[in-house]
Amino acid sequence: MKKHVHGGNIYSYRDCVDFSANCNPLGTPEGVKQAVVRSLDCVGNYPQVGYAPLREALGKYEDIDPDSVICGNGAAELIFSLCQAVRPKRALVPAPSFAEYEQALISAGCQVEHVFLREEEDFAVKENFIESLHKGLDIVFLCNPNNPTGYLYTQREMNQIRDLVKKYDLFLFSDEVYREFCYTGAPYISAFHLEGIEEQVVLIDSVSKRYSECGIRIGALITRHKELKKSVMKFCQARLSPPLLGQIVAEASIDAPESYMLSTYNEYVERRKHLIDGLNRIPGCYSPIPMGAFYTVARLPVDNADKFCEWCLSEFEYEGQTIFMAPASGFYTTPGLGKNEVRLAYVLEKEELSKALIVLQKALETYPGRTINE
């Protein structure tokens, strides 16, 4: 089975409805395209040292001191730079979660401990999560809302985590790249605003998901910890700065009108309902209702979701179409887990989602390794 890779590889497949991707359904904001045209005259120049205009725009957006912001070539690069800078000996990573955390930690020689979030519990944080925090750790990773499950941490859970991070003097890494996409109606609880651990929090943000700009590769790491900031900067200096065009595009995006974010949000609310209702109507499928991001992890009535996803791409079609899904196993990193689960994104338009759900149902009815018979 070809592993699902960050960024996907949809370009290698034809005639498939892509459930695996993750882009803003409205495309990039209008002003961005004009900024790109204006920027063409600057391509001969090196970017401004310290990329001040972008850091200032991000600082204003996040309501924080721009001096706390480091920009990088996407959040992905900064996650690796952070791990190289901290070189933690032991880290706690929830599973399933974004696979790059573990890869970055391992590349820095770290021993990774896991706390498992279970489909039977709708991937919620339970007591075992809190009990997994101990003084032998150096850093705890959170993705909030979580990729791939869409789970959103509650105020109570964030407070419990804060208390233990403080007690054991740990770093708290919080990846908040999906925080604009929360569906509870309650205010978002950012780790950056937890009192008492201000210096210990490292925030990750990115324009990739918010403005449909995965290709421009601009992310941000935000920390008030001066020594940590200096060490991360040393790794970032290896590539001087993020690309100038990316900086210009990201800066212009931050000025996107509120109506852009609101329409995007409303679209996701509709698409989420459409997908989750549709999945739960297919015999043997189950999806919890995700409270954030634009993914869900669904249980399918199959022997092995890796094999099923590959079979869909190589052997199956219904009316000339098939579906491309991300097997959930890649988000657990522990072999054997998530065996009958897939991650589905609800970035497609509702009509496309309806078609994709029909193709999925037909695939499940035909797949030789299906585990129910009605």
Ligand X SMILES: Cc1ncc(COP(=O)(O)O)c(C=O)c1O
Nearest-CB residue to ligand X? 74
Residues sharing a CB contact under 8 Å with residue 317, sequence separation 6 or more, in sequence order: 15
Q: How far is the CB of 244 from ligand X (least distance, A)?
A: 17
Using alpha carbons, list the distances in angstroms from residue 312 to 298, 324, 339, 359, 360: 16, 7, 16, 10, 9
Pairwise CA distance, residues 47 & 62, whole Å = 23
CB of 97 to ligand X, least distance (A): 8
For position 76 contacting ligand X by CB under 6 A, the verdict is yes
Q: What is the smallest separation between the CB atom of 152 and ligand X, expressed in angstroms? A: 13
Q: Which among 28-36, 69-77, 235-243, 327-335 is the span making contact with ligand X, rule CB under 6 A?
A: 69-77
Q: Which stretch binds ligand X (CB under 6 A): 74-82, 158-166, 264-272, 341-349?
A: 74-82
Looking at 175, 180, 251, 306, which residue binds ligand X (CB under 6 A)? 175
Q: Pick the piece of the chain touching ligand X (CB under 6 A) from 12-20, 126-134, 206-214, 313-321.
A: 206-214
Q: How far is CA 268 from the centre of its chain?
A: 15
The answer to the question of residue 147 lying near ligand X (CB under 6 A) is: yes
Q: How far is the CB of 83 from ligand X (least distance, A)?
A: 13
Q: To which H or E segment does residue 269 belong?
A: helix 258-281
Q: CB of residue 241 vs ligand X: minimum separation in angstroms?
A: 15
The verdict on 143 binding ligand X (CB under 6 A) reads yes
Angle between helical axes of 350-366 and 305-314 (0-180°, round to 10): 110
Q: Which is nearer to ligand X, 75 or 189 (CB)?
A: 75
Distance of CA 322 to the CA centre of its chain: 25
Site string for ligand X, 38-57 (x = CB under 6 A): --------------------
Interface with ligand X includes 236 (CB under 6 A)?
Answer: no
Among 144, 190, 206, 223, binds ligand X (CB under 6 A): 206
- Put the strands of the sheet holding 341-345 in their side by side order: 295-299, 341-345, 326-327
Nearest to 113 by CA among 95, 87, 97: 95
**C-alpha–C-alpha distance, residues 340 and 338, integer Å:** 6
The C-alpha angle with vertex 44 and arms to 38 and 50, in degrees rounded to 5, equals 85
98 binds ligand X per the rule CB under 6 A: yes
Q: Does 214 bind ligand X (CB under 6 A)?
A: yes
Name the token pair of 141. 């990773």
Residue 287 is a binding residue for ligand X (CB under 6 A): no
**Cβ closer to ligand X: 214 or 297?**
214
Burial class of residue 65 in the structure, from the number of CB atoms within 10 Å of its CB (0-12 exposed, 13-18 middle, 19+ buried): exposed
144 binds ligand X (CB under 6 A): no
Q: How far apart are CA 4 and CA 96, in angstroms?
A: 14
Residue 35 or 75: the one with the smaller Cβ distance to ligand X is: 75
- Report in angstroms how near the CB of residue 48 gets to ligand X at its nearest: 21
Q: Which is nearer to ligand X, 157 or 213 (CB)?
A: 213
Residue 208 touching ligand X (CB under 6 A) = yes
The CA distance from 345 to 268, in Å, is: 10
Nearest to 350 by CA among 257, 268, 252, 253: 268
Is position 247 an interface residue for ligand X (rule: CB under 6 A)?
Answer: no
Residues that bind ligand X (CB under 6 A): 6, 22, 74-76, 98, 143, 147, 175, 177, 206, 208, 214, 219
